[in-house]
Amino acid sequence: MRNWTWVFLLVIFLAVLVRIEAWKFSRAHHEHTERISGSAGDVLEDDPVGRLKVFVYELPSKYNKKILQKDPRCLTHMFAAEIYMHRFLLSSPVRTLNPEEADWFYTPVYTTCDLTPNGLPLPFKSPRMMRSAIQLISSNWPYWNRTEGADHFFIVPHDFGACFHYQEEKAIERGILPLLQRATLVQTFGQRNHVCLKDGSITIPPYAPPQKMQTHLIPPNTPRSIFVYFRGLFYDVGNDPEGGYYARGARASVWENFKDNPLFDISTEHPTTYYEDMQRAIFCLCPLGWAPWSPRLVEAVIFGCIPVIIADDIVLPFADAIPWEDIGVFVDEKDVPKLDTILTSIPTDVILRKQRLLANPSMKQAMLFPQPAQPGDAFHQILNGLARKLPHDKGTYLRPGEKALNWTAGPVGDLKPW
């Protein structure tokens, strides 16, 4: 019994010690910021204006505005980047009204704005909707046909991008919509060696409401007294009753190993102080769920909480511009049971540097889709990504009469009129 008493006292001592160190981290974090050095920093602060021109197709409102009118919730969910990117481009100085001088062509289709009562997007109509839009632009303008989409980009913020399904197995089975095989896809989903991420795609952050987060900011000198923080599901009993499939078991492992650990503030409850709590934490867990990504990554960066990324082979937003290795901690899914040891063994100076980098305003700006747009924000990072792909290579343009795409490929249901 005495041995257990000593173990209990040791755990309490360690928890107090961590909270003291957390206070030190907090003070240092808010006294200094650090410029993002090297190529990543230079790229992050690029200005795309003058480096590319984008032509925006004017589609019938049934592809975008009317869909939004039916369900305004689409403006606030994590897939809303497709809507805000459209609005941004309409007034952006990179927009050209002359398609002959365009470097890129954009087709504004709101494929995630078909929501369940719970606010989750239903992707089942998306392939037919996208095919319909492509058939329209290929019939009314000559630009698609000369490249079959190789100088076109599409925003596809679904769980698994242009595979258009929220379950990974079915998304893999479907694959990327055949008509988008030559286009550049701008998507939230990113995982190396995955059929739903094609070469040349631009991975972006999910939408998180900037104004809402702004209203929850707390004084910058508030101590970071929470060592590890997480709020969210550990199991999805409704969709994964036997367990082990959801989050590939990583979230369940977090709960089973650390639910009683005093260093871990983790729960399924989502308190009204969620944003404030993140600002009081040193580390914020960002595990995969059904897909590798989630808004927690954005929230962690905005609130200066070091993101602990648990998602094997994830491709992170704007990875060519944001130095994720410097600001985050990567933990393999198999190593989740060792999470406490991994995090407590990180040297203080490493934690302080990550916090200084996270405090850099340009880092936060790159993760947001603000209204109105701001220099260096996610809109501009997307344009930077497109500009870096220029000039188009010779393979972009097809010879007269040449065809690269199979218009009848894909599931039979996708070929039905929309």
Task: Name the residue type at position 134.
Answer: I
Give me the pLDDT at residue 167, please.
Answer: 87
Structure tokens at 7: 């173990």
Q: pLDDT digit string (tens) for 40-97?
A: 455 777 899 999 999 999 999 999 999 999 999 999 999 999 999 999 999 999 999 9
- pTM for the whole structure: 0.89
Q: Average pLDDT of the chain?
A: 90
**pLDDT tier for residue 310 given thresholds of 50, 70 and 90:** very high
Q: Is the pLDDT of residue 32 over 80?
A: no
Give me the pLDDT at residue 4, please.
Answer: 45
Tell me how far apart the 2 most distant CA atoms of the chain are, in Å.
Answer: 85
Give me the pLDDT at residue 145, please.
Answer: 96
Q: pLDDT digit string (tens) for 217-248?
A: 999 889 999 999 999 999 998 888 877 789 99
Give me the pLDDT at residue 242, please.
Answer: 77
Residue 301 contacts residue 364 (beta carbons within 8 Å): yes
Partners of residue 265 on adjacent β-strands: 229
Residue 259 contacts residue 266 (beta carbons within 8 Å): yes
Give me the pLDDT at residue 196, please.
Answer: 97
Q: What percent of the chain has pLDDT over 70?
A: 90
**Looking at residues 405-414, what average pLDDT do you find?**
92
Q: pLDDT digit string (tens) for 181-205?
A: 999 999 999 999 999 999 999 999 9
Q: pLDDT digit string (tens) for 160-189?
A: 999 999 889 999 999 999 999 999 999 999
Give me the pLDDT at residue 21, please.
Answer: 45
Give me the pLDDT at residue 33, please.
Answer: 56
**In what helix (H) or strand (E) does residue 308 lie, and over which residues does it extend?**
strand 306-310
If DSSP codes are grouped into helix, strand and coil, which group holds residue 185?
Answer: strand
Q: How far is 183 from 150, CA to CA, in rounded Å?
A: 5
Q: Is 48 left (phi over 0), alpha (psi -120 to 50) or beta?
A: alpha
Task: Name the residue type at position 27.
Answer: R
Residue 112 contacts residue 82 (beta carbons within 8 Å): yes
Q: How far is 302 from 89, CA to CA, in rounded Å?
A: 24
Q: Is the pLDDT of residue 16 over 90?
A: no
Q: Is 313 left (phi over 0), alpha (psi -120 to 50) or beta?
A: left
- More confident call, 158 vs 15: 158
Give me the pLDDT at residue 374, please.
Answer: 95
**Looking at residues 400-413, what average pLDDT do you find?**
92
Q: Is the pLDDT of residue 366 over 80?
A: yes
Q: How far is 98 from 115, CA to CA, in rounded Å?
A: 35
Give the other-Cβ count within 10 Å of 91's Cβ. Answer: 9
Q: What percent of the chain has pLDDT over 90?
A: 82
Give me the pLDDT at residue 342, please.
Answer: 98
Q: pLDDT digit string (tens) for 325-360?
A: 999 999 999 999 999 999 999 999 999 999 999 999
Give me the pLDDT at residue 188, please.
Answer: 96
Q: pLDDT digit string (tens) for 373-395?
A: 999 999 999 999 999 999 999 89
Give me the pLDDT at residue 14, please.
Answer: 43
Q: Is the pLDDT of residue 417 over 70?
A: yes
Q: Is the pLDDT of residue 20 over 80?
A: no
Q: pLDDT digit string (tens) for 253-264?
A: 999 999 999 999
Give me the pLDDT at residue 365, please.
Answer: 95
Please report the DSSP string for 275-322 in residue order.
HHHHHTEEEEEEE-SSSS--THHHHHHHTTPEEEEE-TTB--TTTTTS
Residue 158 contacts residue 129 (beta carbons within 8 Å): no
